[in-house]
Chains A and B, each alone.
Chain A
Amino acid sequence: MRYIPHTKRDVERMLEAVGADSVDKLFDSIPERFQLQRDLALPSPLDEEALIRHFNQLADGNCSSAKCGASFLGAGAYWHHIPAAVGQMLLRGEFFTAYTPYQPEASQGTLQAIFEYQSMIAALIGCEVVNASMYDGATAAAEALLMALRAQRKRKRILLGRAVHPEHRAVCQTYLSETPAALESIPFTTAGLTDLDALAQALDETVAAVLIQQPNALGNIEDLETIGRLVHEAGALLVVSVLEPVSLGLLEAPGKLGADVVTGEGMGLGSGLNFGGPGLGLFGTQQKFAWQMPGRLVGQTTDEQERTGYVLTMATREQHIRRARATSNICTNEGLCALAAAIHLSLLGKTGFAELARTNAANARELCRRLDELPGVQRKFSAPFFNEFVVQIEGDVPQKLHQMAQSGIIGGLALEKFYPELSNCLLLCATEMNTLDQVERLVAALES
């Protein structure tokens, strides 16, 4: 066994030092009736070559974005190019085999990188304070709502835009189900945007927070400025969730438009799809809420010789000190994904990140224009979008999708599952990874 170095002789030496005559003896504190009297029923061990063969067999059952030829799936998980330098840096064992940086003197690499991550995400989302990351976009949004309830204890209602990703709303529901808070849904209009009249009506002094997604789950760009004004007039907090971080290269930072908390999904920043996980939960807020935040924070400080260094800080919010009274039960962050984001954003830089966003928006518009020209295909909503949008098509949508999938075209997501009234609608996404050829194949498939 290549991961266990102990030879027979090593074992004998160690047993002798311990004063035990057998390894079994070391387990005598476990009552006999609890000791397993058989071998574990697991498959036989595989050597490295057999393991690779087995994984290749499993891989044959998967149709990845590259392999399937043309994928237009987004809906909260966006396919973006990851520069080779990101992948190579993440393979440095000094990063990926390190633990949470509890001993700062031995963890300055991780700590400075996370400080840089916090700084870059703060610049992207327009927040004063960003934490070291949460599990994913959905749990970050849920924790933001819990934070809003802590910050305004007398307010017990939470408004969720119906154009927030339905699975994220479901996660919020699970997280908040043991609080006294009531979750209410705010509908969207025929333009595919949060209904501002309905929002204004629902808002009053009992509302703690409003959760809005930007761009929303239909791909459309919300008027955050107006929403922010309405929410603040009622004294509530605005939480904005950004699931496509690349949109921040083109769209105004939510923190600049009135968001009190900005959460998001950062897997598009250098981590990749990975069948949906790990994600990278972005979480930022304004200074006045800093002590209410969940999660780890890295801060700058100095040592005895006035040298700059970094530490985990403001820890008295956290479970290892405050236990049951902590701001969250979260213990670590998604450290390696945050590092990936820091490297990814450093490579793209100020100009590259903005250019990438424009490329996404331009490609999606070209896809939309061509689909809109097809007979029997129609754009569903009139609102401006970023890199995904909804079209209505004639005929049996599941069957159409199935047919296209057989020829390697993943023609977006059927929305009926999430929004029953959108039964003949598809959510389609185009990023910098799509090509004109793929668009033409999709168009041809929809035409036939």
Chain B
Amino acid sequence: MEANPSVSSGRSGLTHAEPLIIERSAPGRCGHSLPASFGHPETASADIPSACLRSQPAALPEVDEMTVVRHFTRLSAWNHSIDSGMYPLGSCTMKYNPRINEALARLPSFSDLHPYLPASHCQGALQLMWELAQYLAEIAGFAEVTLAPAAGAHGEWTGMKMIRAYHRAQGNPRRRVLVPDTAHGTNPASSKLCGYNVVEIKSGPEGILQPEAVAQVMDDSVAAIMITNPNTLGLFESGIGDIADIVHAQGGLVYCDGANLNSMMGVARPGDMDIDVLQFNLHKTFATPHGGGGPGSGPVGVCAKLVPFLPIPRVAKKEGQYLLEEDHPQSIGRVKSFYGNFAVMLRAYAYIREMGGGGLKQASQMAVLAANYLRAKLEGHYHLPYPSRSLHEVIFSDQNLAETKVSTLDIAKRLLDHGFHPPTIYFPLVVHGALMIEPTETENIETLDEFAAALLAIEQEAQHNPDQVRAAPQRTVVGRLDEVKAAREPVLRWPTKD
């Protein structure tokens, strides 16, 4: 494709229009500097049958290095990020990502480390993993932790696999898993992938799961209950003790989605609440970057009776040496290649070492204080569907603005014009038009005030100039995009010649 000069003009001042990189391509340009081979180049493919060889080179762009750097720099300017501003996404824990962790992750002794080195040659990495598992077990109160899962949903699935393996070892894998209606969509999807039918339980009028509701559906066909605590309404499931008793009495297990662990580090431990399995989200609670959608890391903590079922390999310490063990006959097996997202674990480890136990507790305390502070500022202006005590996040809805025909989506889009990323919206599903706000501990009080002021201004705009709110965003690089068209006439790649 020829370079197209007409697309290079500024869109608005120094906010640049930027085409696809393939549109910057010109035959003969290159952005690489490759070593010469020491083998003879003509030998490279002489012995390979021609049917196996590429008939034509892959249609990658042909661009010089600066064009690549400029292209991706311009694209980056179109993103909102924690570095550019507050990101109050509920249940996502968008806290600051410390820079020292990035520097440490780039030490070549870790970043260039091959996973199949003999254990004697990777003691540092194995020690880091072993210690991180110990720290996480202590923070959440579990017997052991596997670091293998690559993300939260992967951790859920790994946890449910262990639950199934446990029941199978008792003679019956059981058929059903109980999931409250406030659960994240991955919970039922992960259960299903483990062969379970999902039974949804309604949460009570206070937004809390009622032990009686669990007792009604609990029997010996139920393998586990999968709860989130604090739940996605930001409320502590105060009946957790009774619920665990009811489930355990029938031989079931209690799984806890640990997405909201940032609310209680050093304050309370899921393992002490008779929870049997929990997945951590290192990219939430432990400050590792979200990367625009991964890589995350979803370690899983288990109580003693589930230890035999942990995935392999397991990191062990014997006689002062660290090693990987595979000989665990009751293990659910491998869940991922190699050992998990090591570079993410490394950042979480650095975070825990910098914070210490006291620092982690302070983080949770300040996260909860910040959420309650925002709640106090916004209460009365926005509808608060569940007035119980909030922990790390608070859920409002668009109900007060019904007459103005301004919806949660409009509020979210208008926040972009005010310079803030919107909260999580329309989730949890039990709240109509939910706005789920989680400020985290890393935003200072001035920013919290500005964010509250923006939401209060939008409420006023909705009352007096609702069209302006419904037409938002006006100040972003694109306006509201046609998602129906995107799904009905999918364009999932740039056009090709062949």
Contacts and interface: CB of A to CB of B under 8 A. Distances in A.
Interface string B317-353: 0000000000000001111111111111000001011
Contact of B493 (A130, A170, A275, A351): A130
A64 B189 contact: no
Interface in B13-67: 18, 20-22, 25, 29-41, 43-45, 47-49, 51-55, 57-63, 65
A45 B358 contact: yes
Given A251-B52, A309-B478, A331-B185, 10 more contacts: A45-B355, A59-B109, A167-B334, A170-B334, A279-B150, A329-B186, A335-B294, A351-B62, A359-B34, A384-B48
Contact of B478 (A93, A299, A307, A318): A307
Given A89-B73, A93-B82, A352-B34, A123 B139 contact: no
A297 B337 contact: no
B368 A304 contact: no
B466 interface: no
Contacts of A432: 34-35, 37
A278 B294 contact: yes
A5 interface: yes
Contact of B109 (A67, A300, A402, A405): A67
Interface string B189-210: 1111111001000000000000
B363 interface: yes
A178 to B, nearest CB: 3
Contacts of B453: none
Interface stretch (A110-118, A152-160, A231-239): A110-118
Contact of A96 (B95, B109, B291, B412): B291
A186 interface: no
Contacts of A248: 54, 58
Interface string A340-381: 001101111111111111111111111100000000000000
A324 B189 contact: yes
Interface stretch (B247-255, B399-407, B439-447): B439-447
Interface string B2-14: 0000000000000
B342 A346 contact: no
Given A43-B353, A97-B289, A251-B52, A174 B192 contact: no
Nearest to A65: B112
A356 B30 CA distance: 13
B125 A250 contact: no
B421 interface: yes
B213 interface: no
Contacts of B481: 104-105, 301-303, 309-311
B92 interface: yes
A191 interface: no
A57 B334 CA distance: 30
A33 B190 CA distance: 31
A109 B79 contact: yes
A290 to B, nearest CB: 7
Given A42-B360, A174-B161, A314-B490, A109 B77 contact: yes
Contacts of A29: 235-236, 238, 388-389, 391
A362 B20 CA distance: 34
Given A18-B373, A349-B29, A336 B291 contact: yes
B339 A436 contact: no
Nearest to B413: A105
A27 B267 CA distance: 8
B89 interface: yes
A318 B188 CA distance: 12
A74 to B, nearest CB: 9
A304 B473 CA distance: 11
A184 to B, nearest CB: 17
B273 A95 contact: no
Interface residues of A, number: 210
B53 A275 contact: no
Contacts of A240: none
B265 to A, nearest CB: 8
A138 B336 contact: yes
Contacts of A41: 138, 357
Contacts of B87: 99
Nearest to B55: A252
Given A101-B292, A323-B189, A436-B38, A119 B493 contact: yes
B266 A36 contact: yes
B149 to A, nearest CB: 9
A337 interface: yes
A421 interface: no
B221 interface: no
Given A170-B334, A333-B293, A277 B487 contact: no
A149 interface: no
A303 B195 contact: no
Contacts of A405: 118, 120-121
A253 B443 CA distance: 48
A337 B294 contact: yes
Interface in B90-128: 92, 94-98, 100, 102-104, 106-118, 120-125, 127-128
B264 interface: yes
B304 interface: no
A177 B309 CA distance: 14
Contacts of B294: 100, 133, 135, 278, 332-337
Contacts of A116: 20-22, 494
A109 B153 contact: no
Given A92-B76, A118-B493, A346-B63, A362 B334 contact: no
Contacts of A283: none
A225 B333 CA distance: 33
A443 interface: no
A275 B492 contact: no
Contacts of A11: 366, 369
A136, A179, A253, A360: most-surrounded residue (chain B CB, <10 A) = A136
B354 interface: yes
Contacts of B22: 116, 119
A135 to B, nearest CB: 4
Given A52-B104, A353-B60, A253 B75 contact: no
6 contacts: A28-B389, A34-B241, A98-B80, A105-B478, A174-B333, A362-B38
Contact of B31 (A17, A51, A349, A410): A349
Contact of B337 (A40, A48, A61, A171): A171
A76 interface: yes
